[in-house]
Amino acid sequence: MAKIIAVANNKGGVGKSTTTANLGAALAMKGKRVLVVDTDPQANLTAALLDIDEKPIEVSIYDAMSGGTPLPIHNVSTNLDIVPADIALAAAEIDLVSRRAREFVLKKLLSPVVGNYDFVLIDCAPSLGLITLNALSMADSVLIPLTGEALPMRGLTMLDNYISDVVADLNPALHVGGVVVTRFNNRKLNTVVLSTIAERYGDKVLKSRIRENISIAEAPLEHCSIFEYAPDSNGAADYMALATEILQSNE
């Protein structure tokens, strides 16, 4: 049975799409069948793994959610597939308001295919709207990327409360599977924030930390994972370590 992980944080710029892409690629390299799902209208995950300039997306997750087409699944590499998004997905927040069982539209779409995978990673938008609610309503766990800075910490109470509401009302099995610190360095601010995160989440804070690494930022420009772009970089080592830790926690 596939493990369904929502990669979520209502703060933007913390590495959700980057983590979804590279964790998915790392798990695939370890022989796991992986589906990554882009539910962010910014479509950063899609652009990171597919060359949409050369071959634009004709059918996106929005088309499937609006009921017009089958769920589009594109192969990225061995063991790794993606459900792409585009800017049209922004309209889904409005479209879903009047839908019956609106919280489970994504689950209904993905249920027929999740059995083909070991892991399904859902990249969530930096918001707590209906699309993110759809992701959390079907996920087994939430992976929270968080930079070692003060500002992203301020939204954690809102995120925690939102997850608690989903657990109470829609998905009792949902839990925080881990917090992964991205863009980590050993400067004082990082270490102070990491200590605060540890006080809040305890052993949910993953040992793997994604260090600052320019190659991680450059890889999406080439529409590939860090492992294709810079396999010997710190970024590749860190995301492979994260994949190993995720696998161990799901044994």
Q: What is the CATH number of the domain that holds 175?
A: 3.40.50.300
Q: Given a cut of 70, is residue 150 above it in pLDDT?
A: no
> Which of these ranges, 47-56, 119-128, 224-233, has the smallest mean pLDDT?
47-56
30-39: per-residue pLDDT in tens?
999 999 999 9
Name the pTM for this structure. Answer: 0.95
In this predicted structure, what is the pLDDT of residue 244? 98
In this predicted structure, what is the pLDDT of residue 34? 98
What string of DSSP letters covers 60-122? -HHHHHTTSSPPP-EEEETTEEEE---GGGGGHHHHHHTSTTGGGHHHHHHTTTGGG-SEEEE
Average pLDDT over residues 105-110: 95
With bands split at pLDDT 50, 70 and 90, how would you rate the model's confidence at 92? confident
Average pLDDT over residues 180-204: 85
Mean pLDDT is highest, among 79-93, 198-212, 222-236, for 222-236
Q: Is 51 exposed, middle or buried (CB count within 10 Å of its CB: 0-12, 13-18, 19+)?
A: exposed
Backbone phi and psi for residue 50, each to the nearest 5 degrees, phi listed first: -125, 140
Average pLDDT over residues 79-102: 88
Full domain range(s) for residue 66 = 3-249
In this predicted structure, what is the pLDDT of residue 45? 97
* Total tally of structural domains belonging to the chain: 1
In this predicted structure, what is the pLDDT of residue 151? 63
> What number of CA atoms fall less than 13 Å from residue 79's CA on the CB side?
15
Mean pLDDT of the chain: 92
Q: Given a cut of 90, is residue 99 above it in pLDDT?
A: no
Q: Which residue has the tokens 């301020």?
A: 154
Taken as a whole, the chain contains a residue count of 251
In this predicted structure, what is the pLDDT of residue 54? 84
